[in-house]
Chains A and B, each alone.
Chain A
Amino acid sequence: MSRRRSEWDSVSGMPLCEPARQALLAAIDAGWADPARLYREGRQARLLLDAARESLAASIGCRADEIRFTPSSAAARQQALLGLVSSRAGLGPVVTSAIEHSSILLAAESTGLPRVDIGVDSAGRVDLPAMLAAGVNAAAVALQAANGEVGTLQPVREAGEALSAHGVPLACDASALAGHGAIPAGWSTLAVAPETFGGPRGVGILAVRTGARWRSPESAEDTAWVPLAASAAIAMETALQRNLQHGERLRAIIGRIRHAATSTIEDVYAAGDPIGRLPHVLTLTCMYVDGETLVRELDAQGFAVTSGSACVSDSLRPSHVLAAMGVLTHGNIRIGLPWDVADEEVDRFLALLPRIVSQARGRLGA
């Protein structure tokens, strides 16, 4: 008998939740047409697309005409920043937190403009005074709502309000937070990733505040395959409900794993702010082991987790997030709990982890 897998990498992606799957299938039949066409089938697709916009706007806290669709969540993240920069070129450097998603750091680099990376404290929270000092003269500032590796929440509202007083826009990558917590105010652009809350891949959500100086990149269409947009909107509504029902439970489970792993196994540390964090995310670092071994051993035992350790990344460089925090970068695993995680799974994980760590250490002669 095969045991149910524990898919604990929800930050990378989750299976399509049932309401989103049904919305997708229904919209494939009803919304296949080009929503720009004037005939009935086109108008029907248009209605579905507009309904998706309205729903997402209500979920996010903005207007329907501020919602754009991109071909992917990665494109949403990039356009959130690049669209601001391209309309404000020459107005100063591009300021980013040091722990933005690597695609945003690469996008900032690609502008060719001067860059300022703002450091974080050991809990992964951005140095807000430093960000504002650099930001008041910037073309644009990128600050994520929460970090997807360690879960730490960022002071987006405070940063956005202060920057806006100087006319500087803030691009907020909400791809780890959206669907799992309240989206803060203060952003000029906002990127959301449906696959991180039970929605489909192949569509990203980009919100652009009315009045923000944002320019769409050449050849970027503000449209998506209607079924994907419809599915993403339903996924967001479902996620908000599930958050209300399960968010506190997940938060407590992460707290339990944090405490148990660090107190029962020698030289294991939890990264990120224990309080100001996402409810469902945790990175543990285990000294004297390598992340790849941990991931493989846990996979063999039915747990799908990921790692930011160098041995697991393509570049052999360690996680830039952990490095920026000044914490240990080897031997880490990142957990992203799904809403339906069972207590028995957590019990099993906590019983397994000490053995896996000590066997790995033994093999390395540690």
Chain B
Amino acid sequence: MNETLVDARGKRCPAPIIALAQASRELPPGTYVVLLSDDPGADTDVPAWCRLKGVDYLGTRAVDDGAGTGYVVRLPQ
């Protein structure tokens, strides 16, 4: 699966969501994006942003190197 990583670790809200929004504007439709964030607000804000923007939220995954969570989304086709 082709994924684009957006690493927003170390950034506090709303920076991770801003990074995700920027990626969604720049990347091709249908791209899988994994946002890496260690901000506590991301747990709620990523799914909420996805719902508001019509982006598929595909859940979380563990991060291999260090703290934080990977939030997996798929941009609209």
Which of A's residues lie within 8 Å of B, judged by CB? 267, 269, 287-290, 309-311, 316-318, 322-323, 326-331, 364-366
Known contacts A287-B49, A311-B12, A326-B48; decide if A318 and B17 are in contact (CB<8 Å). Answer: no
Which of B's residues lie within 8 Å of A, judged by CB? 12-15, 17-18, 21, 39-41, 43-45, 47-49, 51-52
Closest 10 CB pairs of A and B: A330-B13, A330-B14, A323-B44, A318-B41, A328-B48, A366-B18, A310-B41, A329-B44, A317-B40, A329-B41
Query: Nearest Cβ distance between residue B59 and chain A, in whole angstroms?
Result: 14
Sampled A-B contacts (13; CB under 8 Å): A287-B14, A287-B21, A310-B40, A311-B12, A318-B40, A318-B41, A323-B44, A327-B44, A328-B45, A328-B48, A330-B17, A330-B41, A366-B18
Residues of B within 8 A of A290 (CB): 12-14
Q: Total number of A-B contacts with CB less than 8 angstroms?
A: 65
Cα distance A242–B44 in the bound complex, in angstroms: 38
Query: Nearest Cβ distance between residue A75 and chain B, in whole angstroms?
Result: 29
Q: Are A329 and B45 in contact (CB under 8 A)?
A: yes
Other-chain residue from A317, A322, A364 in contact with B14 (beta carbon distance below 8 A):
A364
Cα distance A267–B48 in the bound complex, in angstroms: 12
Query: Nearest Cβ distance between residue B34 and chain A, in whole angstroms?
Result: 20
Query: Nearest Cβ distance between residue A88 and chain B, in whole angstroms?
Result: 34
Q: Are B18 and A364 in contact (CB under 8 A)?
A: yes
Q: Are B48 and A288 in contact (CB under 8 A)?
A: no
Query: Nearest Cβ distance between residue B51 and chain A, in whole angstroms?
Result: 8
Grouping DSSP codes into helix (H, G, I), strand (E, B) and loop, the A interface class, with mixed when no group exceeds half, is: loop
Query: Nearest Cβ distance between residue A341 and chain B, in whole angstroms?
Result: 29
Cα distance A257–B45 in the bound complex, in angstroms: 24
Residues of A within 8 A of B40 (CB): 310, 316-318
Cα distance A316–B45 in the bound complex, in angstroms: 14
Q: Are A364 and B44 in contact (CB under 8 A)?
A: no
Residues of B within 8 A of A287 (CB): 14, 17, 21, 49, 52
Q: Are A329 and B48 in contact (CB under 8 A)?
A: yes
Q: Are A331 and B48 in contact (CB under 8 A)?
A: no
The residue on B at minimum CB distance from A323 is B44
Other-chain residue from B17, B41, B47 in contact with A288 (beta carbon distance below 8 A):
B17
Give 12 A-B pairs besides A326-B48, A330-B45 with Cβ atoms closer than 8 angstroms.
Answer: A288-B14, A290-B12, A290-B14, A309-B41, A310-B12, A316-B40, A317-B40, A318-B13, A327-B48, A329-B41, A329-B45, A330-B17
Residues of A within 8 A of B52 (CB): 267, 269, 287, 328
Cα distance A317–B12 in the bound complex, in angstroms: 11
Cα distance A144–B23 in the bound complex, in angstroms: 41
Query: Nearest Cβ distance between residue A43 and chain B, in whole angstroms?
Result: 56
Query: Nearest Cβ distance between residue A145 and chain B, in whole angstroms?
Result: 25
Query: Nearest Cβ distance between residue B70 and chain A, in whole angstroms?
Result: 19
Residues of A within 8 A of B12 (CB): 290, 310-311, 316
Residues of B within 8 A of A329 (CB): 13, 41, 44-45, 48
Other-chain residue from A267, A309, A323, A365 in contact with B13 (beta carbon distance below 8 A):
A309
Name which of B14, B39, B48, B51 has the most chain A CB atoms within 10 A of its CB.
B14
Name which of A267, A323, A328, A364 has the most chain B CB atoms within 10 A of its CB.
A328
Cα distance A308–B46 in the bound complex, in angstroms: 17
Residues of A within 8 A of B43 (CB): 323
Residues of B within 8 A of A318 (CB): 13, 40-41, 44-45
Query: Nearest Cβ distance between residue A329 and chain B, in whole angstroms?
Result: 5
Q: Are A366 and B48 in contact (CB under 8 A)?
A: no
Q: Are B44 and A311 in contact (CB under 8 A)?
A: no
